[in-house]
Amino acid sequence: MTTEERYQKVIDWFEKNRPEVGTELHYSDPFQLLIAVILSAQCTDKRVNLITPALFEAFPTPEVLAAANEDHVYEYIKSVSYPHNKAKRLVKMAQVLMNEYEGKIPSAIKELMKIPGVGQKTANVIASIVYNVPALAVDTHVFRVSNRIGLTQNSKTPLETEKELTRYIPKRLWSKAHHWLILHGRYVCVARKPKCEECGLKAYCQYYTNQRLPLLERG
C-alpha cells in the first residue's frame, strides 16, 4: 500500500464513521478555550473540565485574570499537572492580551504564539476552532497514532509530523483530522496497549500488519 493509498483509506474511514468531531474541552468563549487548552498540556481534558467551571467564574475576563495573584489562580488549578507554572502562564497570558491585543484573542497563528503558554500546538487549536483557520495541531496522541498507522514514517518531532500530515491530508480536513487522530489515540490507539481488534483502521495500519506478520508466518 502506497502512502497516498493509506491516507485515502484512513480519511475515508474517518469521514464515514466520525463525520462530526470536536474538542472535548468545555468552554463558552475563545478566552475560556485558550485557558482550557493551556491547562490541558500534559493533563487530561477530563481533569481540566472538572476545574474550569470555578476558574472561569472567578476569572471571567482577561482583565480580571491579568490583575490576579498567581497564588490565587494556583488554588483553582492545583489538581492539574504543573499547576505553579500554569498559574504563572495564565496570568502572563492575560496581561499580554490586555497590553497588546485589547483583551481579544488574535486569529493569526504567529500572533498567538507570542502569548505566554501558547506554542505551535495550542496556536493551531485556537486558530482552527475559534477562527476556522486550516491548522493541524500535533499533540502526543496525534504524534503516536500517525506513526503507528504509518501516516508518518520518520518524523521525530511534532513539527515534522505536522508537515507530513498536512502534505497528504486535504487542507479542508486539517482541523477535523486533528480531532480524529486525538480521539482515536485517546480511546482506541492508546499508548500502552492499543485496542487493535476493535479498531476500524486495522486493515490500513502499519503497526497492526507488523504485529500480525510473525503469527501469519508461523501459521
Active site residue 121: yes
- Give whole-number Cα distances, 197 to 160, 203, 205, 216, in Å: 29, 10, 12, 16
Q: Are 198 and 188 spatial neighbours (Cβ–Cβ below 8 Å)?
A: yes
Q: Are 21 and 11 in contact (CB under 8 A)?
A: no
Q: How many CB atoms lie within 10 A of CB 83?
A: 18
Q: Are 188 and 159 in contact (CB under 8 A)?
A: no
Backbone Cα Rg of the chain = 19
Distance separating alpha carbons of residues 168 and 171, to the nearest angstrom: 9
Please name the residue that has the C-alpha cell 507530513. Answer: 164
Catalytic residue among 86, 104, 139, 171: 139
Which position among 121, 163, 171, 176 bears the catalytic label?
121
Q: Return the closest-CA partner of residue 178 out of 216, 214, 146, 215.
A: 146
Residue among 140, 156, 117, 145 at smallest CA distance from 44: 140
From the list 157, 154, 121, 144, the residue with the least C-alpha distance to 190 is 144
Residues forming the active site:
121, 139
